[in-house]
Amino acid sequence: MHRAPDSFAGYGRGVALVTIDDISDAANRIEGLVLRTPLVDNQVLSHEFGTRVLLKAENLQHAGSFKVRGALNTLLTWQERGELPEGVVSFSAGNHAAAVAYAGKRLGVRVIVAMPSNPVPSKVANVRRFGGEIVPTDDLAATLAELAEEHGFPILHPFDQPEVIAGQGTAGLELCADGPPPDLVLVPVGGGGLLSGVAAAVRKLAPSARVVGVEPATSNAMSQSLAAGKVVRIDNPSATVADGLTAPFAGEHTLPHVQAYVDDVVEVDEAAISAAWPELIESSKLLVEPASAVCLAALRSGVVEAPRDGVTVLVVSGGNADLTRLA
C-alpha cells in the first residue's frame, strides 16, 4: 500500500494539475459524442460488504472503455486551437487504441497504434472496426518514436497528457452528479490517467470521499513511482490477466496528480483478480474485462475496507474481454 502525501508541496516539478474547470470544459466538449454511462446498484456486493456498492459502468462506453473520453477531448481541444492533425500515433494494449480509432473516425483523423505482438484478439478487432492501423511490436516505446518520426504525426498519449486526464475525469464528474455522495471510490490503475482525472473531480465534488487506486502486483509502475517519489519505468512488466493495466511507467503528469489527489494506491495479486473477474460478471450481469475486477479484488482480499453503511463506487473501466480466457 502506498499512501499519497498529505500535501502537494514539492511534487510534480512544476506540472500543472488538471482542475475541476478543465474537467467541466472537457465534459461540455465531448457531450453527445460519449455515453453518460449508468451508475448501477449492485445488491449482491452491497449485501456482502455492508456498504452500498455502485458500479460506474464504463464497459458500456463507446469502443468498450472509458478511454474514448480522453481521446475525444484531446482531439477536440486540438481542433479548437486550429491544430487538428492529419493523423496521430500512439501505443496501447488495446482499449486506448480502439478509443483513438473511434475518435479519429469521428473527426477524420488517421490513427496508427503500436500494440503488443500478442494482444487480446477482441481488442485487435475493436481497433480495426474503427479503422485504426496496428503495428505489432515487442518494444512499444521505440516503435512509437519510430512511427512519430516516420509519419510526422503527434502522439496522443494513452494517459500522460493533461487533455487525456481531463477527459477521463468526466467519469468522476458523472459519478458524483448521478449518485449519492461517495464515501469510497475505487479506480483501476495502469498509467494513471483514469485515476488522476477521477480523483481530481471527486476531490472537488466529494471532498470527504477516499479515493483509492488499485493495480496488479505484477504490473505496479504507479506504486513503485510513489515509493521512489519519481517516475519509475518497468522495462519488462510481468504478465497479468488484467492486460489493460500493463503500463510500463507512471506518467510525468499522472504521478503528480496521484500524489496530490489520491489517498492510497494498493496492489492485488493475480489469484485475487482471476477470482474476482467472473464474480463481478455474475453479480452485475455486465460483461467486464479483468482490469475492471481489480477493485472488487481489493475489497475481497482485504487491502481496502469498505465503509460500513456508506457508499462505495467501483469504476468499471472496460468490457473488452477475451471470452476464451473467461471460459
In a domain, 156, yes or no: no
Beta strands in 138-263 (DSSP E): 184-188, 210-216
Beta strands in 162-226 (DSSP E): 184-188, 210-216
Count of structural domains, the chain: 2
The pLDDT assigned to 14 comes to 67
Decide: residue 302, CB within 10 A, 0-12 exposed, 13-18 middle, 19+ buried.
exposed
The pLDDT assigned to 237 comes to 67
Alpha-carbon span 21 to 2, nearest angstrom:
28
Q: Domain check: are 182 and 314 in the same one?
A: yes
Domain region containing 104 = 67-151
Task: Report whether pLDDT(197) > 80.
Answer: yes
Q: Domain check: are 22 and 146 in the same one?
A: no
The pLDDT assigned to 144 comes to 92
Q: Of the residues 131, 151, 171, which one is the last residue of a structural domain?
A: 151
Q: Domain check: are 22 and 82 in the same one?
A: no
The pLDDT assigned to 1 comes to 54
Confidence bin at 11 (pLDDT 50/70/90)? very low
Q: Domain check: are 118 and 53 in the same one?
A: no
The pLDDT assigned to 322 comes to 80
Q: Domain check: are 73 and 59 in the same one?
A: no
Task: Report whether pLDDT(324) > 90.
Answer: no
Mean pLDDT, the chain, as a whole number? Answer: 92
pLDDT > 70: percent of the chain:
95
Q: Domain check: are 178 and 246 in the same one?
A: yes
Q: Domain check: are 126 and 196 in the same one?
A: no
Give the residue-averaged pLDDT of 298-315: 97
Q: Domain check: are 59 and 193 in the same one?
A: yes
In a domain, 252, yes or no: yes
Q: Give 228 or 8, the one with higher predicted confidence.
A: 228
DSSP annotation of 58: G
Alpha-carbon span 116 to 259, nearest angstrom:
29
Q: Domain check: are 191 and 251 in the same one?
A: yes
Q: pLDDT tens digits for 83-125? A: 999 999 999 888 999 999 999 999 999 999 999 888 778 888 8
CATH code, domain with 86: 3.40.50.1100
Q: Domain check: are 170 and 279 in the same one?
A: yes
The pLDDT assigned to 4 comes to 44
The pLDDT assigned to 3 comes to 47
Give the residue-averaged pLDDT of 63-73: 97
Task: Report whether pLDDT(192) > 80.
Answer: yes
The pLDDT assigned to 120 comes to 78
